[in-house]
Amino acid sequence: MADLVIRDLHVSVAGKEVIKGLSLTVKGGEVHAIMGPNGTGKTTLSMAVAGHPRYEITSGEVWLGDQNLLEMSVDERARAGLFLAFQYPAEIPGVPVKNYLRQIYNAVKGTDLEVFEFYNIMMEKMQMMKMDPSFANRHLNEGFSGGEKKRHEILQMALLEPKIAILDETDSGLDIDALKIVSEGVNSLRGPELGVLVITHYHRLLEYIKPDIVHVMMDGRIVRSGGPELALELEAKGYDWIRSEVSAGKEV
Ligand SMILES: Nc1ncnc2c1ncn2[C@@H]1O[C@H](COP(=O)(O)OP(=O)(O)OP(=O)(O)O)[C@@H](O)[C@H]1O
């Protein structure tokens, strides 16, 4: 178990400050949700924590347990137990899913499993995600439907067994059945060893993946935190009331 601790983080993208002093702690075993208007910096936060070079961290700290993530490469962060499920997973034509999964598994776990050794591990997780075995032979994200892409992201999470998983809009593009399958996949991985940070626009996902804490992000900061009822309130009332309270100096 390892907590993700973000302290007073500032991040710039293309010369513009997007994250403006964000602090957040996700403890092992907890599920946190971040909701917030478009363009408020949610993806920037997840990319910066994962170590994408386009996102420049100008100040602040990010720790995974006792490991200082900001001093680590992207690969080292993954080996330390950080996992990011992308909002828009990239297509890599020519790379079969089974090869890709075996490579990332070996890289993150520090193993050197051969094809036949990895096959059963992969198939067990694919069954959990209700994926057809032929999926393993397809090329990475090439021609995948939105739902298949997201299912594949959670399949990676199941294989890599991270300590902290950040799921960036994993619900976008999913039909109701796929949403349930993806959520069941995440729920089956929940436990004291895993902390999850779910980024979403909709309360619907949080009916399936029940969060312990919901945060509202606005203009690059967390401006409000509460229980699952906060997500319902946002769904019913939108963001303007929080915006008004924040500009009146009421941050909770
Ligand atoms: N590569 C980039 N170049 C320029 N601006 C960028 C880049 N990436 C992000 N931004 C800007 O940073 C801000 C935050 O974007 P980000 O994608 O983090 O928001 P978000 O909260 O995830 O939005 P959404 O809810 O629409 O997914 C936006 O104004 C966006 O235009």
Percent of the chain with pLDDT over 90: 72
> Within a domain: residue 108?
no
> Within a domain: residue 65?
yes
* Span from the CA of 44 to the centroid of ligand 1 (angstroms): 6
The answer to whether 184 and 127 have CB atoms below 8 angstroms apart is: no
Q: Closest Cα to atom 26, ligand 1: which residue? A: 38
> Within a domain: residue 136?
no
> Within a domain: residue 32?
yes
78: domain CATH number is 3.40.50.300
> Within a domain: residue 33?
yes
Asked whether the predicted pLDDT for residue 250 surpasses 70, the reply is: no
Give residue-wise pLDDT tens across range 23-55.
999 999 999 999 999 999 999 999 999 999 999
Q: Closest Cα to atom 31, ligand 1: which residue? A: 39
Determine if the pTM surpasses 0.90.
yes
* Ligand 1 atom nearest residue 45's Cα: 18
> Within a domain: residue 28?
yes
pLDDT for the residue 190: 93
> Within a domain: residue 21?
yes
> Within a domain: residue 157?
no
Percent of the chain with pLDDT over 70: 98
What was the ipTM of the complex prediction?
A: 0.96
Number of domains in the chain: 1
Over range 231-239, report the average pLDDT.
92
* Span from the CA of 13 to the centroid of ligand 1 (angstroms): 8
* Ligand 1 atom nearest residue 201's Cα: 25
Structural domain including 8 reads 4-87+162-247
pLDDT for the residue 182: 87
pLDDT for the residue 189: 92
